[in-house]
Amino acid sequence: MGVAHFNTFPFLCQTMANERDIEKVLGSVIRELRVARNLSQEKLAELGDFERSYISKVETGIRSIQFKTVVRMAKALDMKASELVQEFEKQYEKF
C-alpha cells in the first residue's frame, strides 16, 4: 500500500478555522441528539462513562474528540457511530 498524500483526502486538509467549525458542528449534533432523546448532560455522561463537564465542552465545540470517543458517544446515544457521522455530515454541509 502506498503512502497517502494529503491532497488525496481533502477532508484531512482543513485549515485550523475549519477544524474549529468541525468541532462546533459535531458538538451541536451531539447536543441535538441528546436533547431529542430527553437525556441530560449528566445522564449522557453516565451512559458513556464521561465527565459531565466533558460533555459540555464537546457540545460547545471547545473540546475536540477522537474517533474512539465518537464511538462511545454514539453508543451512549443508542446509535451506531456511522449514524452519528452521517448526522454530522448533513449538518456540516449546511454550515
* CATH number for position 53: 1.10.260.40
Task: State phi, psi for 65 to the nearest 5 degrees.
Answer: -130, 150
Supply the pLDDT for residue 15.
52
50 in any annotated domain: yes
Its domain, for residue 47, covers 15-94
Q: Which amino acid is at 72?
A: R
C-alpha 74/C-alpha 20 separation (Å) is 21
61 in any annotated domain: yes
Supply the pLDDT for residue 20.
83
Q: Per the structure, how many domains does the chain have? A: 1
For the stretch 74-80, contacts whose Cβ atoms lie closer than 8 Å and that sit 24 or more positions apart, written own/partner, are 75/47, 75/48, 76/44, 76/47, 76/48, 76/50, 77/30, 77/33, 77/34, 77/37, 77/39, 77/44, 78/37, 79/33
Burial of 21 from C-beta contacts in 10 A (0-12 / 13-18 / 19+): middle
pLDDT tens across the length of the chain (95 residues): 444 444 544 554 445 558 789 999 999 999 999 999 999 999 999 999 999 999 999 999 999 999 999 999 999 999 999 999 999 999 998 88
3 in any annotated domain: no
